[in-house]
Amino acid sequence: MKNLFRAFLAIVIVSVILIAAINRLNTSQGFSGSDTLTVYNWGDYIDEELISRFQEETGITVIYETFDSNEAMMTKIQQGGTSYDVAVPSEYMVQKMAEENLLLELDHSLLPNIKHLDERFLNLAFDPSNRYSLPYFWGTVGIVYNPTLLPEGTEITSWNDLWNPEFENQILLIDGAREIMGMGLNSLGYSLNDTNPAHLQEALTKLKELTPNVKAIVGDENKLLMQNEEAAIAVGWSGDAADIMWENEDIDYVVPEEGSNLWFDNFVIPKTATNVEAAHQFINFMMDPEVAAQNTEYVSYSTPNKEALNYMPEDMVEDERFYPAPDLTERLEVYENLGQQNLAYYNELFLQLKMYRK
């Protein structure tokens, strides 16, 4: 019994020493402390001048790290190696992280700039009452195309237009299972949150019929390929489309008439946060209308901050390709968290499509 007690005591002492060492290491690296804030965001998704301004105004040092997928972000937060104070997951991931008890509830009394957000983008199904999240940017999934590279008079308004045999080897698809399987489902008149196996198989069959028109399935390189006119059509996100159109004025963007995805990236505070007060300060700072306007002009995605629109150029705000009217946004669908099993099935079918192309 004494030996068992000694072994238990030894484990406790070693654990305490390890925790102290980790804390010292984190502190030495600036990953904790009341004057430090660690923000975890998508790449190239903030005007870094605003980080400097926040630091100057508050005296809080910002440690800024980036990720390239929701799944990578969640895995790192689950592992807990770094104490992130603010993260920016997409809507379905907010729901999943909340279900897995990874998020703190926001203290709305510390976030007075909530009043500037458009009510259309609050209290959505993935986070009723915005208990855990507030929208940072929003946008759509649609079709980017260059009319000068297509037969004269070609008009693209629909997902089904992409199956035109005249577009052989002209289309870039984004490397995302939800986006491409969603396109297949929408083209058949189904919801992009459909989990009916028969409907998903039907969508896969239709997507396989599209492959003669598919030039490549790509990631961020789709922007450069479209700017350089190495492809005529791409399926992608509205913010990327805005960047592409900025570089090449011949290019246009359309939200397909059958429907598409309305997405949101959102501020959250992970449960591992060590500076919750500063996290609220940062989120509130980013929701200031002038700050949000400057950030939106830099990032090019659509802001949910209705007051920020007053500080932005008219041609940007009035562009219905990126700020569509409410009657269109009401027809679009937000991704739901479909559960691990259904998401695995989406990924499996998308992998089958990629293998079929080869």
Identify the weakest region by mean pLDDT among 45-49, 127-131, 296-300. 296-300
Per-residue tokens: 65: 């790290």
- CA–CA dist 76, 286 (Å, integer): 24
Based on C-alpha coordinates, what's the Rg of the chain? 23
pLDDT at 219 over 90: no
DSSP string, 98-162: HHTT-BPPP-GGG-GGGGGB-GGGSS-TTSGGGSS-EEEEEEEEEEEE-GGGS-TT----SGGGG
Instruction: Give 148's contacts (C-beta < 8 A, 6+ positions apart).
Output: 229, 250
- What would the pLDDT profile of 273-291 be if each residue is shown by its tens digit? 999 999 999 999 999 999 9
- What would the pLDDT profile of 291-348 be if each residue is shown by its tens digit? 999 999 999 899 999 999 999 999 999 998 899 888 888 889 999 888 889 989 999 9
Instruction: Give 251's contacts (C-beta < 8 A, 6+ positions apart).
Output: 144, 145, 146, 226, 227, 241, 244, 245
- CA–CA dist 4, 268 (Å, integer): 44
Question: By C-alpha distance, which of 54, 74, 75, 72 is closest to 64?
Answer: 54
- What would the pLDDT profile of 147-171 be if each residue is shown by its tens digit? 999 999 899 999 999 999 999 999 9
- CA–CA dist 316, 335 (Å, integer): 26
In contact, 143 and 156? CB cutoff 8 Å: yes
Residue 34: the pLDDT is 66
